Chain A
Amino acid sequence: MLSVILQDTPIPISANPVIETPEIVWSSLAPHLILILGGILLLTLVSLLRGKAPSWFHAAWTVVVAGAALGSLWPLWSRVQEDGPQTLIAGAVGLDGFSLFVTGIICVSVILSALLLEGYLRRENLVGPEWYVLMLLSASGGVIMASANDLIVLFIGLEILSVAAYVLASMHSRRISSSEAGLKYLILGAFSSAFLLYGIAMTYGATGSTNLVRIQQFLVDTVLIKNGMLLAGFAFMIVGLGFKVAAVPFHFWAPDVYQGSPTPISGYMASGIKAAGFAGFIRVFVVTFGGTYAQQWRPMVYALAVLSLLVGAYMALIQTNVKRMLAYSSIAHAGFILIGVTVATDKGTSAALFYLLVYAFMVTGSFGVVGIIGREGDGKHSLDDYQGLGKTRPGLALIFAVFLLAQAGVPFTGGFLSKFYVINAAVAEEQYVLAVIAMVSAVIAAYLYLRIIVSMYFAGADDHGVSPEMANPPAKKVPAGAAIALGIAVFATLWLGIVPDTVTSVANEAVARLVAFQG
């Protein structure tokens, strides 16, 4: 009897016995897979070896993995050139020039940060695989974010990126300010992700899909009579993404977090994480809502750009801590990139991409130098600690000067051209006010960078009664990894300023091939 009773309990869903699983072209996901597997394998290997690996092994592994991911971009790039942009995994992920370019920026940032981190960790006596594992996983999140063609995938990528970064920020176990930075970053980051997610939910409700191409198609085909829900979604998503790229007025976490985090990690945050955040910004607003709703979101982004440019540059001036200065200057740089976003043209987007690449080199290099000068304990970051650096450590001072001049936008550096392209894109759209504000911000910021340089070269013993030798005793040699990273960064900063043609044409190509609704 029992069998009779139990046997025909109905399972209603069994009407369609097989669920269609999406076709996956694994080779097109190579950068994602390499970064994720590289991170997980490193963690497993090291935990099984239990400390038998030499201390340089983690960094070398990370550089090789990120380099492999970078190398895998070439065949994919030519695939995109031949077959055009394509979507993968049932439309969830897009493979196009844009995603590949941003992936490249993130990989570059990981390579440079890993090289800088190696010497830093040995000096601080914090050697361990976790830093590199987290960095690789965070980078994989950034890559997912850059290639997301679905708002939920974008959110997941953002979270993988951020959660790893929260831990990285708080990894310096002996500095309380590092834990503080991690906690602040986490709470405000979670706050902003909640905003982003709420915006995604509203957009989903207004358009009926989270897939970006389908949203685009829906908005082209349908005219919404009531678009309040969608506009609220825009506002929430701009708040969420504005937090991630540290645009004023959502910037207040950035100075604290950049100051408290271990210095090479600050460099990674300012380059890799910022690039991924902007990739999301551009993908959602310029690509998806650029054609149909540009009039609605552009004023909001315009305001963010203007505020970031002015507040970032001004606040940077009144700081005495060099890490905070760089944090505020990174906010001003975010303002420049937002100009490229707010014009919402191909020209603007490719200018933003070029800016992000140049900035990745400049800022990781700057934070790299700051990390070395910070000396053991990572605490010597006041402007006074830079006095007379030109005499005591001429090489390092010269390199830092190059990065600072590049950030200020001096000609023959990448910093000049990246600013030029962004302003050019604004002028092409007849946004003259924006262009003027950008130039004013550049002038204010130039004063800041010159202040550091003057302190390094021209402030002598008489200013504060401390002799340069006292302030900066001749220190140990620059670690090999850091030397390589700084060399690469200086070379790239100058090279992008003198012969930018290859990279700009790649950036233009990247924007020309985007996953989008062809209406």
Chain B
Amino acid sequence: MLELTETWYLVLASLIFTIGAVGLLVRRNPLVMFMCVELMLNATTLTFVTFSKALNDVGGQASVFFVLVVAAAEVVVGLGIIVAILRRQDNADADDLSLMRG
């Protein structure tokens, strides 16, 4: 039977991070893009906790709190901007938002 070592958690975290990063680049709906950012941040959280366990150091776990709050603040600001856009137009797709080109 496979033993569940730290490496597995790190691999899982890197997979989640990749899914988030690719998703953000591929998807065009801002809400889904936010979810992808959230995935990326959660992957880093998992990495932090894994290292915290491996190093037997509580600092890594404490960082998770800050990441959580930062993620919430970012999403709130992002949703605020989306709401501001939706008040003026019906759709807030990333493709519709391309006034500026060059």
Q: A residues engaging B (CB < 8 A)?
A: 152, 155-156, 159, 163, 166-167, 170, 173, 176-177, 179-184, 186-187, 190-191, 193-195, 197-198, 200-202, 204-205, 208-210, 255-256, 259-260, 319-321, 324
Contact = CB atoms under 8 A, between A and B. Distances in A.
B74 A186 contact: yes
Given A166-B77, A186-B78, A191 B21 contact: yes
B77 to A, nearest CB: 5
Contacts of B80: 167
A201 to B, nearest CB: 4
A182 B81 contact: yes
Contacts of B37: 187, 190-191, 194
Contact of B102 (A187, A205, A210, A319): A319
A443 B26 CA distance: 38
B44 A197 contact: yes
B66 interface: yes
Contacts of A186: 74, 77-78, 81
A39 to B, nearest CB: 15
B15 interface: no
A205 to B, nearest CB: 4
Given A159-B74, A180-B98, 6 more contacts: A155-B66, A163-B70, A183-B30, A187-B37, A194-B17, A198-B43
A187 B33 CA distance: 7
B74 A163 contact: yes
Contacts of A163: 70, 73-74, 77
A260 B74 contact: no
B12 interface: no
A158 to B, nearest CB: 9
B51 A159 contact: no
Contacts of A179: 81, 84-85, 88
Interface in B38-97: 40-41, 43-44, 47-48, 50-51, 54-55, 57, 59-60, 63, 66-67, 70, 73-74, 77-78, 80-82, 84-85, 88-89, 92, 94, 97
A159 B99 contact: no
A177 B100 contact: yes
Given A152-B66, A180-B99, A187 B17 contact: no
Interface in B19-37: 20-21, 24, 30, 33-34, 37
Contact of B41 (A197, A204, A259): A197
Contacts of A166: 74, 77-78, 81
Contacts of A156: 66, 70
Give the interface SS of chain A, mostly helix, strand, loop or mixed. helix
Contacts of A182: 81
B: interface residue count bin: 35 or more
Contact of B84 (A173, A197, A204): A173
A202 B47 contact: yes
A194 B10 CA distance: 16
A39 B9 CA distance: 42
Contacts of A167: 77, 80-81
Contacts of B85: 176, 179-180, 183
Given A166-B77, A183-B30, A204 B24 contact: no
Contact of A176 (B10, B20, B88, B94): B88
A170 B78 CA distance: 10
A208 B58 CA distance: 11
Contacts of B54: 205
A277 to B, nearest CB: 17
Contacts of B57: 208-209
A490 B47 CA distance: 49
Given A156-B66, A170-B84, A187-B78, A256 B24 contact: no
A186 B97 CA distance: 14
Given A201-B48, A204-B60, A324 B102 contact: yes
A183 B41 CA distance: 18
Contacts of A320: 102
A190 B97 CA distance: 18
